[in-house]
Structure 1
Amino acid sequence: MTKPIPRFIGPTVVVLAVLAVAFAGAGGMFVGERVYPLFGVGALFCLCMILVFEIILSGFVTQRAMISLAAGHGALMGACASLFFLPGSGLLVLLGYTSGGAVVGAVSFWWYRVRHSILTDR
Structure 2
Amino acid sequence: MPRWLMDYLEELATLLRNGGWKEQDINDMIQASSSPSSDTEDIYLDSQTILEGLLLKADLMSNSLRKAGWSSQDIAEIFDINYPTKKPTKKISPELAERIGKLAEYVVQA
Which TM-score band applies after superposition, normalised by the shorter structure?
0.3 to 0.5
Larger Rg: 2
If the length of structure 2 is used for normalisation, what is the TM-score?
A: 0.36
Higher relative contact order (CA 8 A, sep 6+): 1
Structure whose residues are more often helix by fraction = 1
